[in-house]
A and B are shown apart, each in its own frame.
Chain A
Amino acid sequence: MSTAPTPAAPANTLAPAATSQGRTARTRGTARRRAMGACAALMTPFFVLLVLVFLVPVGGAVYLSFFSDDQPGLGFGPERTVFAGLRSYEAVLTDPTFLAGLGTTALYCLIYVPSMVALALLLALLLDSGAARLRRTAQLSLFLPHAVPGIIAAVIWLYLYTPGLSPVVELLGKGGVSLDLLGVDTVLPSIVNIAMWSNLGYNVVIFYAALQAVPRELTEAALVDGAGPVRTALRVKVPLVRSSGVMVVMFTLIWSLQLFTEPMLLSQATPVVGGRYTPNMYIYDAAFTRNNYGLAAAASVVLLAVTVALSYGLSRWSNRAGHASGSSEEGFG
């Protein structure tokens, strides 16, 4: 369960020291050079990509966020790019629609993350309990929505939410319940449901794999001590899969900040979801509806900073908590 690539990992190196002692220093130097040449050849393509599609765009966005386009008239004529300092950041951070988007995302996370972790863990525990039948089939079925593209998951659920198309709404109607699943108060839970449907099985598989690695002696001992299956699950198994839990929380949270596809599609169907419903939709709107690249870049940088801060903070916190509880498990970063 410990992180494979830690600095303490065994030195399985192809450095010259490992080769036969009979060689001279010179051939050893040649071998070392060859090894390093091969290493560089294997790593270069990835790091070229890393620079090209990761470092350069991030740097570029930071750079652009300090500039703004002065467009004379209606946007015709030559653009003049002028240094604007922190003006774009000020505009983003004082824009009520951006702040509302952040608020929506925070509320979304508040509903989504705990229910996802609880449900995925519950299902994994049930599957691991030995009482469940057809474990593999159940896991595969739960995982299946992960193979459904986000936009199609949104299409399916949108239709299932739409009166006149949806058998669910019709069934509810026959039962005397009239529920507008795309209303002011219901649309956010409806979006949570789409995300839950898409990702539940993925996290169940992660938790289940971690549970499989729990030493059997511990659960045996708990049972011998008279703990029931529920107590054993909560007191013995759950603490032991904590590191997987941290990872699930971290990735669920990071991805929740990126919420875009589902609300974007729902915005076509309900006026409740506006064009700047989430930060990513705000960025898209700023760049392509308002053609304000400086603003879009600043908002991207803000979102990136929040994402990085959250994941860094979470992994630091999990590492510390891990060491405090005497476990050698490490977080993901």
Chain B
Amino acid sequence: MSAPTTPRAPLGSGAPRGPRPRRTRRAARAGHTAASARPRLLGRVAVNAVVGLSVLYTLLPVLWLLLASAKNRGALFRSDLLSLGDFSFADNLAALFAMEDGIYGRWYLNSLLYAVAGAAVSTMISVACGYAFDKYRFRGKEKLFGLVLAGVMVPPTVLALPLYLMASEVGMVNTFWSVFVPVLFNPFGVYLGRVFSQGYVPDEVLEAARMDGAGELASYFRVALRMLGPGLVTVFLFQLTAIWNNFFLPMVMLSDQKLFPVSLGLYVWNSAAVVTPDYYPVVISGSLLAVLPLIAAFVLLQRHWRSGLTAGSVK
């Protein structure tokens, strides 16, 4: 529970007034609590009750999704999810993948391709740029970085329609690339790349590599990139989430169902459910399957995204 979030330490050391190491604070706090102002029992109960209620608020809808996708249609429409019978998870999954000739599988693969490949390429591009911002000096650098920060301030949704108008000029609408290329643009990744590069890659190491006769790019790819590992995971994970959750851009760009990501496909099915209730169960189990990979990634890679958020906020 109290494992220190290690990735923060090097980040802190990169910033002039970085957060203090947490260990000392924790130890001191423990001693302090034992000593005097131990929070009163009532306060303690109240604090935990509020936190507990909030946790229920965030978890119960996910639990509902889980139960709803495990139950058969009858139970779903009777709002009868807590009884022990009526389980038909396997049937629901079979129905999901049989619907409309199994197009859901296709959507899922599309989403994986857009998100995994897109996030990987995007991370390499952004972090390389952030690293260059940190390690090299040239005239107008901070102005150029200001442009990157301006990009952070402009949410991708605002760009979706302008992108569509451009793509239709060059005949790129309704293609894989029309969704894949725009999501590679991740200015926040450049910002994080610069922060991480400052924290993780000491200049002395690069200087040593240079003395050994390594080229500039070689020392980036062989030395720096390895040290940037944890930062890469953070940038990758957040871009993966952003692309997986992307809805407006594909909705604007795509009309061919075979190119849809899961998010757009489920939206279309949900519209159909208004007319044909047969779609309700498949939308629910489809949603569950679409949520699982990201939840798994966030639970498994906790320390990484925590450090990323910290770098992005505490600065």
Among A91-99, A149-157, A317-325, the stretch that binds chain B is A149-157
B155 interface residue (CB < 8 Å to A): yes
Whole-angstrom CA separation of A201 from B302 in the bound complex: 13
Counting chain A residues whose Cβ lies within 8 A of the other chain, the interface size class is 35 or more
B28 interface residue (CB < 8 Å to A): yes
* A102 CB, min distance to chain B CBs, angstroms: 14
Overall SS of chain A's interface: helix
Which residues in chain A, 128-174, are within 8 Å of chain B measured between CB atoms? 129-138, 140-153, 155-160, 164-167, 170
Chain A residues contacting B248 (CB-CB under 8 Å) are: 258, 260-261, 280, 284
Chain A, 9-46, contact with B by CB distance < 8 Å: what is the 0/1 string? 10111110011000000000000001111110111011
- In the complex, the answer to whether B64 meets A19 with C-beta atoms within 8 Å is no
Interface centre among A35, A123, A158, A220 (most CB of B within 10 A): A35
Counting chain B residues whose Cβ lies within 8 A of the other chain, the interface size class is 35 or more
- In the complex, the answer to whether B135 meets A215 with C-beta atoms within 8 Å is no
Closest to B122 in A: A49
Chain A residues contacting B210 (CB-CB under 8 Å) are: 14, 19
Closest to A15 in B: B137
Chain A residues contacting B8 (CB-CB under 8 Å) are: 209
Chain B residues contacting A213 (CB-CB under 8 Å) are: 18-20, 314
Question: B154's contact among A38, A146, A260, A308, by CB below 8 Å, is which?
Answer: A308
- In the complex, the answer to whether A138 meets B155 with C-beta atoms within 8 Å is no
B58 interface residue (CB < 8 Å to A): yes
Interface centre among B58, B248, B298 (most CB of A within 10 A): B58
Chain B residues contacting A182 (CB-CB under 8 Å) are: none
B294 interface residue (CB < 8 Å to A): yes
Interface centre among A50, A164, A264, A328 (most CB of B within 10 A): A50
Closest to A205 in B: B309
Given contacts A39-B138, A58-B162, A159-B284, contact A53 B64 (CB under 8 A): no
B48 interface residue (CB < 8 Å to A): yes
B257 interface residue (CB < 8 Å to A): no
Chain A residues contacting B44 (CB-CB under 8 Å) are: 131
B231 interface residue (CB < 8 Å to A): no
Whole-angstrom CA separation of A183 from B264 in the bound complex: 26
Which residues in chain A, 240-277, are within 8 Å of chain B measured between CB atoms? 243-244, 247, 254-255, 257-258, 260-261, 264-265, 268-269
Whole-angstrom CA separation of A19 from B213 in the bound complex: 13
Among A72-80, A104-112, A293-301, the stretch that binds chain B is A293-301
B147 interface residue (CB < 8 Å to A): yes
Chain B residues contacting A280 (CB-CB under 8 Å) are: 157, 248
Closest to B191 in A: A5
Question: A300's contact among B126, B146, B158, B315, by CB below 8 Å, is which?
Answer: B158
Chain A residues contacting B68 (CB-CB under 8 Å) are: 159
Chain B residues contacting A119 (CB-CB under 8 Å) are: 54
* B170 CB, min distance to chain A CBs, angstroms: 10
Question: B28's contact among A58, A216, A261, by CB below 8 Å, is which?
Answer: A216
How many residue pairs link A and B with beta carbons under 8 A? The number is 343
- In the complex, the answer to whether A138 meets B247 with C-beta atoms within 8 Å is no
Chain B, 125-156, contact with A by CB distance < 8 Å: what is the 0/1 string? 11011011111111000100111111111110
Closest to A163 in B: B79
- In the complex, the answer to whether B313 meets A209 with C-beta atoms within 8 Å is yes
- In the complex, the answer to whether A50 meets B185 with C-beta atoms within 8 Å is yes
Closest to B15 in A: A4
B114 interface residue (CB < 8 Å to A): no
Chain B residues contacting A170 (CB-CB under 8 Å) are: 79
B241 interface residue (CB < 8 Å to A): yes
Closest to B273 in A: A268
Question: A307's contact among B154, B247, B252, B263, by CB below 8 Å, is which?
Answer: B154
A85 interface residue (CB < 8 Å to B): no
- In the complex, the answer to whether A149 meets B309 with C-beta atoms within 8 Å is no
Interface residues of A (CB under 8 A from B): 1-5, 7, 9, 11-15, 18-19, 34-39, 41-43, 45-47, 49-50, 52-54, 56-58, 60-61, 64, 119, 122-123, 126-127, 129-138, 140-153, 155-160, 164-167, 170, 197, 200-202, 205-206, 209-210, 212-213, 215-216, 220, 223, 229, 243-244, 247, 254-255, 257-258, 260-261, 264-265, 268-269, 280, 283-284, 287-288, 293, 296-297, 300, 303-304, 307-308, 311-312, 328, 332-333
Selected A-B contacts with CB under 8 Å, 7 pairs: A2-B15, A2-B16, A12-B135, A54-B154, A119-B54, A146-B298, A147-B294
